Amino acid sequence: MAESYPRRDQARGIWKINDITKNIKELGTYPQGSSKALFQGGNTPSYLNTVDFVNVNNAGNATDFGDLSVIRNATGGVANTTRAISAGGYNGSNFLSTIDYAHFATTGNYSDFGDLTVGTTGIGGTSNGTRGIMSGGQDPSTKTNHIQTLQIATLGNATDYGDLTTGRSTPTAAQTPIRSFSATGLTPSASNVIDQKDFSSSGNSIDFGDSVSAKYFAAGGCSSTRAVLMGGGNGTDSNVIESYEMGSKGNAIDFGDLVTSVEASGGATNMVKALSAGGATPSVVNTIEQVTIATRGNGSDFGDLSQARLYYTNSASQNHSGVAEDFPRAPELYSPTGQVLPRGAGVGFAGILSGGLAPSGVDVIEFVNISSAGNSQDFGNLQSADRHANQGTGSSTRGVIFGGGSNGNIENTIDYIEFSTKGNAADFGNLTLSKRSGAGAGNQTRGLSMGGSTDASPYYTNNIDYVTIATLGNATDFGDLSDGTDSGAGGVNSTTRALLGGGII
């Protein structure tokens, strides 16, 4: 959970109300962040491609986000902080292998990501921010125990990742940063099984414990330690909320009750709240209920979906426990002594150091307060575990890190960080070519990656790429240096001009 603002044991300088107000309204450095949840597809009973979203932090009605590429229900949802994915589903006649994705930052229709290994509906979806895991479901022949995986930042098809202990559809998903959980489901009878599986390696899941009652089509949510199961079908107690502690094996216990008995609703979470949206009572409803995960108790009203619907098994939540490190933290740097000032308007206080060799590559991101002497502090981690010779730039709110070497390879990866929210870097897009040891420069709008070395002759490149810092996406060709240059000195620029000095040609 985010810490209070300001944090008195770490803040420096004189804190003034007008400084904090300016952080919130003008600079965007107050750590309050969005926490979107997307409710993807479903049926009314007609099959839908509709996607609604809410900000889980604030109660209210859902708003239209865009559309899936095809109509379907019972999709599996996974996400990191920037990208939402909808996998599989059923359109009334076919079990689908479709995987779609969209970016939380921009509303709009979903795009093609790849395909599941087989058409499957009723999947349970979990994520640790890097890897998505889709568990169970139903394919044309059976309730499946199949586990599939994908890398959220990289488009492509899912691959096999092991099996559940029993084949079942509509398992209710939860996750910690290291483990994926699949609870209850349809076998075809109602199940009380809770499985766990590590994100880090392929292999079969193992038994974790049992739910209080066998059920299917329950909605789920979780903090970094506790998972909740909300409603679900077994014919008797579909208003029941259960919870289990994910840190140690054991059975679920009673948590409280929903306002309304419901099954086939969609679950969402932001680590603090869990939502149950829509479903059947037995009539189809548009109601969204909320519970506070840390405090056992009954559900309460949150708002409404744009239309009544059911059977959209797992939502995609931007801030869930798998990406807890991206949740807003205590803002030691942001006001008044640490605010990052716009380029050309003064000197920023936050200096970022990322990656390097020690002696092997590292994924560490650290920061220093440039305005005062002192040791660096941990900021988060890059996407790649072995990363060096990358280059960076940034605006007053966002840092961008280009390319670099990783595990003996040269990368075209672009990472980004938000200065106002310390945590791990997320995927921004890709350079036009893989390179390392280039030079970065930028102004408030545009970031440049200049020169560097590639993995193909003539090795030293004269390439200059650019990105628009505020908009996620791939880099575009800007022009060329006078010579192919490796290890040049960059980071020198005004609001209109960038300089590159020295280097190897």
pLDDT tens for residues 289-322?
999 999 999 999 999 999 999 886 568 888 777 6
Whose tokens are 């040791």? That residue is 375
With respect to residue 439, please indicate whether it lies within any of the assigned structural domains: yes
Residue 37 in tokens: 């949840």
Residue 54 in tokens: 């809410």
Of 292, 326, 360, which residue is a domain's last? Answer: 326
Per-residue HEC secondary structure of 211-280 comes to EEEEEECCEEEECCCEEEEECCECCCCCCEEEEEECCCCCCCEEEEECCCCCECCEEEECCCEEEEECCE
Q: Within this chain, do residues 317 and 364 fall inside the same structural domain, yes or no?
A: no
Q: Within this chain, do residues 234 and 374 fall inside the same structural domain, yes or no?
A: no
Q: Within this chain, do residues 318 and 362 fall inside the same structural domain, yes or no?
A: no
Q: Within this chain, do residues 130 and 251 fall inside the same structural domain, yes or no?
A: yes
CA distance 400 to 393: 5
Residue 72 in tokens: 């379907």
With respect to residue 334, please indicate whether it lies within any of the assigned structural domains: no
CA distance 464 to 466: 7
With respect to residue 342, please indicate whether it lies within any of the assigned structural domains: no
pLDDT bracket for residue 268 (50, 70, 90): very high
With respect to residue 338, please indicate whether it lies within any of the assigned structural domains: no
Query: In whole angstroms, how far apart are CA 226 and each of 215, 293, 387?
Result: 19, 7, 33
pLDDT of residue 492: 77
Whose tokens are 């999709």? That residue is 75
Q: What is the mean pLDDT of residues 457-484?
A: 88
**Count of structural domains within the chain:** 2
With respect to residue 222, please indicate whether it lies within any of the assigned structural domains: yes
3-state secondary structure of 146: strand
Q: Within this chain, do residues 309 and 456 fall inside the same structural domain, yes or no?
A: no
Q: Within this chain, do residues 254 and 380 fall inside the same structural domain, yes or no?
A: no
With respect to residue 140, please indicate whether it lies within any of the assigned structural domains: yes
Question: Which carries the bigger pLDDT value, residue 473 or residue 194?
Answer: 194
> Which distant-in-sequence residues (6+ apart) come within 8 Å of 104 by Cβ?
34, 36, 38, 79, 81, 82, 83, 84, 318
Residue 21 carries which DSSP code? H
Q: Within this chain, do residues 309 and 356 fall inside the same structural domain, yes or no?
A: no
Q: Within this chain, do residues 369 and 462 fall inside the same structural domain, yes or no?
A: yes
pLDDT of residue 16: 56
pLDDT bracket for residue 137 (50, 70, 90): very high
Q: Within this chain, do residues 272 and 390 fall inside the same structural domain, yes or no?
A: no
Of 311, 326, 341, which residue is a domain's last? Answer: 326
For position 372, which CATH number holds?
A: 2.120.10.80
Which long-range contacts does 364-368 make (Cβ < 8 Å, 24+ apart)? 365/417, 365/424, 365/425, 367/333, 367/422
Q: Within this chain, do residues 169 and 221 fall inside the same structural domain, yes or no?
A: yes
pTM, full prediction: 0.64
Q: What is the mean pLDDT of residues 7-29?
A: 51
Q: Where are the beta strands (DSSP E) in 7-61?
A: 36-43, 47-55
pLDDT tens for residues 218-242?
999 998 889 999 999 887 779 999 9
With respect to residue 397, please indicate whether it lies within any of the assigned structural domains: yes
Question: Which carries the bigger pLDDT value, residue 462 or residue 314?
Answer: 462
Q: Within this chain, do residues 98 and 243 fall inside the same structural domain, yes or no?
A: yes
3-state secondary structure of 99: strand
Give phi and psi for 321, each to the nearest 5. -70, -20
3-state secondary structure of 27: helix
Q: Within this chain, do residues 357 and 245 fall inside the same structural domain, yes or no?
A: no
Question: Which carries the bigger pLDDT value, residue 234 or residue 278?
Answer: 278
Checking if the pLDDT of 185 tops 70, the result is yes
C-beta of residue 422 within 8 angstroms of C-beta of residue 379: yes
Query: In whole angstroms, how far apart are CA 269 and each of 37, 133, 321, 375?
Result: 7, 17, 8, 36
The range of the structural domain enclosing residue 408 comes to 350-501
Of 326, 361, 377, which residue is a domain's last? Answer: 326
With respect to residue 10, please indicate whether it lies within any of the assigned structural domains: no
Question: Which carries the bigger pLDDT value, residue 165 or residue 368?
Answer: 165
